[in-house]
Each structure stands twice: as C-alpha cells, then as structure tokens.
C-alpha cells in the first residue's frame, strides 16, 4: 500500500491537510460553468427522470448521516425539493414506507457499513430508487446501488472521517445543483454556486492555514469535561459533526444542540465549566446566533464562536474565523476548524488519534 504518512504525525492530520486536493478531485470534470450545473453521469438519471424526483432522502451512519443532513439542506435550498436525512440503522428497522418518487441517497465512505448496506437492500426489496455516494470503488454499497457518485477522496485511514465528510458535502452540493437546474434554480444563481465550488479548495487551504490559532484555542479549553456544539439550520449539521469529532478522538463528552432548543432544557447545564462552540455563519440568522451566544455568556458559559464575519468585540471568549463563500456552502468551510479543534484537543490529551478506543474504521457488523 503506497498511502504513507509522509511528514505527518498521524493519518488524521494528513487527511485534513489533503482536503483541498481531495475536493479538487471530486470536482474535476463535473462542473459546468456555461449551463451552471454539474455533470454526474453515474447518477444515471436524464433530465426527465431528475424532474420526476419529488423528495430526496439521505441515509448513512455517524458522520455520513450528518453529511446527509448537510446535503438535505443543500437540496432544499438549491432545488426547493423536500429533503431529509435519517440514520440508515433506524431506517432498516422501522419498516419504512417507501415512496417511488423519492430519490434515496446511500452515503458511505467505506461502502461497507452494514447498516447502510441493509437499508439499501430494504429499499431495493420495496422498489425504491437509490443511488450511492461512496468513496471506495468496488465496495459492497457501490455495487449494490449500481449508480451514484464516487467521492474521489482517496484512501481514508484515520477512524475519524475528515476529507470523506468534506467530499460528501461537495458531492451533495453538485447533486443539489443538478436537481436545481432542472427546476427553478436560475443560471445566475447556479453560476455563483459553480464558481464558489471551484474556489472551495483554496478557501479550505486558507482555513487549514489557521491551524496554529485553532490549536491555541483547543489548548485553552482542553481541561473541559463537557462541551456543547450549537448551531441552527446551516450550522446544525456542522455542530453535530463537530461534537462527533470531539467525542470520538478526545473522549470529551460533547453534545450538539440547535440554538433555539437550549432554552427548552439544556441551558440548565451552562456554567463556567461548560464551554459552547457556537456556529455563526453570516446569513439571515446571524443576529439570532449572536443572541444565543449572549444567552450562554449571561449564564457564565465560555463561548468559542466559529464564524465568517466580524463579530462584536468581546462577544465570545475565542473566535475561529473562516473565509466567505456562497452562504449555501458555508457549512462546508465551517466544519474544517472543528476538525482541527478536535484534533488538537485530542493531541493535547495524548489520545491515540487514528485509532480511538472501542471504534473501527468501518462497521461491518450489527
């Protein structure tokens, strides 16, 4: 196997830093600037079939499920089609009602996750339409689906998924663009998304260049035993993925909450020993998210804000900043500092980053 660590101390760090290149590979030959769409031939649906899709459902496990939530938001925003994500493990057990007009998207880095494979098989038994968004070519889920989109992320060795999550999100943006452009997404809007996707590798490289600052912030908060990750709408799947990364490699207890849900219970947990990482994309909800930070700090909770805008001075205890892109793509960039944050916090605690306890890279059993 010629996939080597090189100068990196572990695979997670190598794979985080490969993201600009991985995204370039995912985009290669797929963006169409002229018609403001994406070419995803493997999906196997002509414009007529694409137009017959009435709903999109993403199915995956763990980070692939959270990426699916990010994808569902993109489909709703760009294609104005109802979309959601569900853990593949739940789907397979709840005797799902399968609607032939729904496009199901099975999401998996390894292509071998048993719960996701079983969801695909259940769908096929019931005559559902399913495509795979998979990294490993020739894997069980890729073969079972027979059509879909390959991530082209390259090998991912670290148990904690980084570049595969990012490439899933990028592939979902292209799928949303494709579905949008056979509906009501304008050429002008589509072109803005195409241009922003094209520039994304450089923007991700800019986030990776802030690693030292993220490491300093992670060090400041490395004594915490619990953390909240707070986001809403576009920030919500990012918060879930950020909490997941921190849990799995640092063993720090992390919980993701939608900002507005805090006051319905979890706010009771806020005190000076409970830091919150709050996602603040500069979109129409920015003032609501600033309000959430004020609520947390008024109760003594430290806040790390992750944003792409200039926040009022002194609003948060620490601020991690990412560059701007099109607002629909903000979640993709906002995820990267959370990967770095989890990584450096875990490194500081001396964890075995690539092989966290109790976990396997791909879960091929029940």
> What CA dihedral angle connects 322, 324, 328 and 333, to 10 degrees?
-30
69 vs 110 by CB, closer to ligand AGP: 110
Nearer to ligand AGP, 156 or 328 (CB): 156
Residue nearest to ligand AGP (CB): 62
Pairing of the two strands 55-60 and 102-108: parallel
Q: DSSP per residue over 70-107, as a string?
A: HHHHHHHHHH---EEEEEHHHHHHS-----TTEEEEEE
Q: How far is the CB of 228 from ligand AGP (least distance, A)?
A: 19
Residue 352 beta carbon to ligand AGP: minimum distance, rounded to whole angstroms: 14
Alpha-carbon distance values, 12 to 166, 191, 346 (Å): 13, 33, 11
Least distance between ligand AGP and beta carbon 244 (Å): 6
User: Residues interacting with ligand AGP, by CB under 6 A?
Assistant: 61-64, 108-110, 113, 116, 159-161, 248, 362-363
Report strand pairing: 318-321 vs 303-307: parallel
Contact 60, 85 (CB under 8 A): yes
Neighbours of 318 (CB within 10 A): 19
Q: What single-letter DSSP state applies at residue 311?
A: P
Would you give the end-to-end CA distance of the chain in angstroms?
A: 29
DSSP for 175-218 reads: HHHHHHHTTT--HHHHHHHHHHHHHHHHHHHHHHTTHHHHHHHH
**Shortest Å, Cβ 16 to ligand AGP:** 12
Nearer to ligand AGP, 163 or 181 (CB): 163
For residue 176, the minimal CB distance to ligand AGP (Å) is 20
Nearer to ligand AGP, 113 or 169 (CB): 113
Please indicate whether residue 126 is annotated as part of the active site: no
Q: Which CB atom, from 30 or from 240, has the smaller least distance to ligand AGP?
A: 240
Smallest gap from residue 342 Cβ to ligand AGP (A): 10
Q: CA-based angle 62:115:160, to the nearest 5?
A: 30
Report the greatest alpha carbon distance in the chain.
Answer: 57
Closest contact distance (angstroms) between CB of 186 and ligand AGP is: 34
Please say which residue, 63 or 295, places its beta carbon nearer to ligand AGP.
63
User: Closest Cα to residue 206, out of 336, 12, 22, 328?
Assistant: 336
DSSP string, 18-63: THHHHHHHHHTTTEETTTTEE--GGG---HHHHHT--EEEEEESTH
Q: Name which of 66 and 257 has its Cβ closer to ligand AGP.
A: 66
Active-site residues, by number, are 361
């Amino acid at each position: 196997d010629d996939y080597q660590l090189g100068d990196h101390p572990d695979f997670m760090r190598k794979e985080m830093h490969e993201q600009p290149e991985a995204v370039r590979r995912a985009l290669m030959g797929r963006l169409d600037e002229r018609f403001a769409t994406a070419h995803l031939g493997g999906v196997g649906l002509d414009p007529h079939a694409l137009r017959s899709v009435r709903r999109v459902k993403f199915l995956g496990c763990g980070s692939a499920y959270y990426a699916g939530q990010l994808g569902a938001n993109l489909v709703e925003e760009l294609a104005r089609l109802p979309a959601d994500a569900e853990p593949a493990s739940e789907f397979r057990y709840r005797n799902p009602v399968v609607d032939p007009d729904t496009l199901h998207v099975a999401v998996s880095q390894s292509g071998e996750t048993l719960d996701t494979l079983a969801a695909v098989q259940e769908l096929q038994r019931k005559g559902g339409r399913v495509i795979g968004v998979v990294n490993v070519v020739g894997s069980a889920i890729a073969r079972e689906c027979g059509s879909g989109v390959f991530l082209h992320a390259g090998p991912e060795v670290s148990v904690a998924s980084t570049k595969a999550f990012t490439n899933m999100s990028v592939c979902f943006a292209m799928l949303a663009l494709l579905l949008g452009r056979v509906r009501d997404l304008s050429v002008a809007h589509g072109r803005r998304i195409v241009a922003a996707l094209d520039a994304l590798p450089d923007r991700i490289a800019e986030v990776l260049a802030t690693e030292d600052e993220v490491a300093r912030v992670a060090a400041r908060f490395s004594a915490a035993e619990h953390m909240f990750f707070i986001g809403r709408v576009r920030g919500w799947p990012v918060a879930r993925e950020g909490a997941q990364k921190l849990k799995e490699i640092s063993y720090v207890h992390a919980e993701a909450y939608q900002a507005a849900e805090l006051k319905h219970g979890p706010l009771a947990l806020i005190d000076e020993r409970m830091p919150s990482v709050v996602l603040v994309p500069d979109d129409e909800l920015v003032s609501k998210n600033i309000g959430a930070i004020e609520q947390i700090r008024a109760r003594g909770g430290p806040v790390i804000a992750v944003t792409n805008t200039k926040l009022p001075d002194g609003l948060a205890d620490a601020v991690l900043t990412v560059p701007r892109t099109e607002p629909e793509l903000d979640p993709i960039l906002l995820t990267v500092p959370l990967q770095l944050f989890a990584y450096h916090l875990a490194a500081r605690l001396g964890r075995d980053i690539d092989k966290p306890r109790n976990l396997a890279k791909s879960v091929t059993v029940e």
